[in-house]
Structure 1
């Protein structure tokens, strides 16, 4: 019998993460929206059971599994922490086609690794981080908590990616040239990163340059 999991956050990413959960052997038991405006509706053939607050108002979520489909790193982390405080489980999901080195360390909390992604030896991935399809995490690289690495990105070796970093589609960071990507940095699609990225920097271009800084 398949384990049940409830999907939170209804948007364009939702069916993508539902596909991942089902590929990992879960059955979607229902959906939860951020508010009550859509309670009772159907989305992608699944019933919207209520709001996040409906879950938060339960005294105990023990034994319940949750799939967080929102792309915003901060919101995803806040929801994950709240559910886990109430006893809920936010499991890590790794697609069967992903290749994970036996020498890699993947957090058991809320990591989503999509099809055809590769995490090489001596690398690690922190809580609530998303690696979309065809991402390559090179050896001896650390991906922090609550990051989002979009499809086709390649993170070179010997890089420390700090928490809450967003990496756009097709980004390439050069091995041994990028010692760190600072907290809450945002790297635009197709950027070529050739040096350290400061915290909160918004980077774009080939080679990438700082466009501005986020708060």
Structure 2
């Protein structure tokens, strides 16, 4: 009899049930959750116990244990991921069974979360810690750098380089052949149609998307 793999989720919020279901769909048994502080220790969220804080976790023996990091702040996720890995923890990539991943795409095996009905096309590259909410489409030959976040139903067209910590808002479209680069920590507003490259640390929104301000 094969023993079900166990996993712990870090980050408790509105997205928690989505990632619980993702982990379960990937064959893991969710043991419990960890919150960023001690305020909710002992509570139950969506039927799962909150076991402690990040500090509690980082001061315990976690070598060889599986974790999924579900917090929305990708810079915090990057910091916590490095701390966990340095302590010997495992952060597996989770890909929902309904997602369509080209056999010619490259998806990191560290901390990528790809939820239901996403598509990743040929020669696309998804690097460590990226998060794709439901129905995201990543075009061919596009690269998502570390800790990129893609909101539900967003479309990132072909031949686009997305730098780390970029935030791609829900239902936004970045057009193939028009957009070459989306800069580090750039934010694309929900529903935007992006027709040209986006500088780093810039917020754009609208149709066509225009620079709102620097973030």
| Structure-2-length-normalised TM-score | 0.97
| Superposition deviation, residue 23 in structure 1 | 0.4
The equivalent residue for 1:62 is: 63
The equivalent residue for 1:171 is: 172
Q: Which whole-Å CA distance do the structure 1 matches of 2:155 and 2:36 have between them?
A: 33
The equivalent residue for 1:41 is: 43
| Superposition deviation, residue 37 in structure 1 | 1.7
Q: Which whole-Å CA distance do the structure 1 matches of 2:12 and 2:155 have between them?
A: 28
The equivalent residue for 2:205 is: 204
The answer to whether structure 1 residue 101 and structure 2 residue 102 are counterparts is yes
Structure 2 residue runs without a partner (length 5+): none
Q: Which whole-Å CA distance do the structure 2 matches of 1:98 and 1:182 have between them?
A: 26
- Could you report, residue by residue, the CA deviation over 1:155-207 in whole angstroms, capped at 9, with x for unpaired residues? 11110000000000111111111110000000000100001110011000000
| Superposition deviation, residue 30 in structure 1 | 0.9
Q: Which whole-Å CA distance do the structure 2 matches of 1:34 and 1:90 have between them?
A: 17
| Superposition deviation, residue 210 in structure 1 | 0.3
**Runs of 4+ that moved beyond 2 A:** none
The equivalent residue for 2:151 is: 150
Q: Which whole-Å CA distance do the structure 1 matches of 2:172 and 2:99 have between them?
A: 19
Q: Which whole-Å CA distance do the structure 2 matches of 1:146 and 1:61 have between them?
A: 23
| Superposition deviation, residue 78 in structure 1 | 1.1
| Structure-1-length-normalised TM-score | 0.97
The equivalent residue for 2:18 is: 16
The equivalent residue for 1:122 is: 123
Q: Which whole-Å CA distance do the structure 1 matches of 2:41 and 2:115 have between them?
A: 29
- Could you report, residue by residue, the CA deviation over 1:67-126 in whole angstroms, capped at 9, with x for unpaired residues? 111111111111111111111011100000000001000001100001110000011001
Q: Which whole-Å CA distance do the structure 1 matches of 2:154 and 2:47 have between them?
A: 32
| Superposition deviation, residue 208 in structure 1 | 0.3
The residue matched to 1:62 in structure 2 has which SS? coil
Q: Which whole-Å CA distance do the structure 1 matches of 2:82 and 2:23 have between them?
A: 20
Q: Which whole-Å CA distance do the structure 1 matches of 2:175 and 2:39 have between them?
A: 46
**Pairwise CA RMSD:** 0.8
| Superposition deviation, residue 44 in structure 1 | 1.0
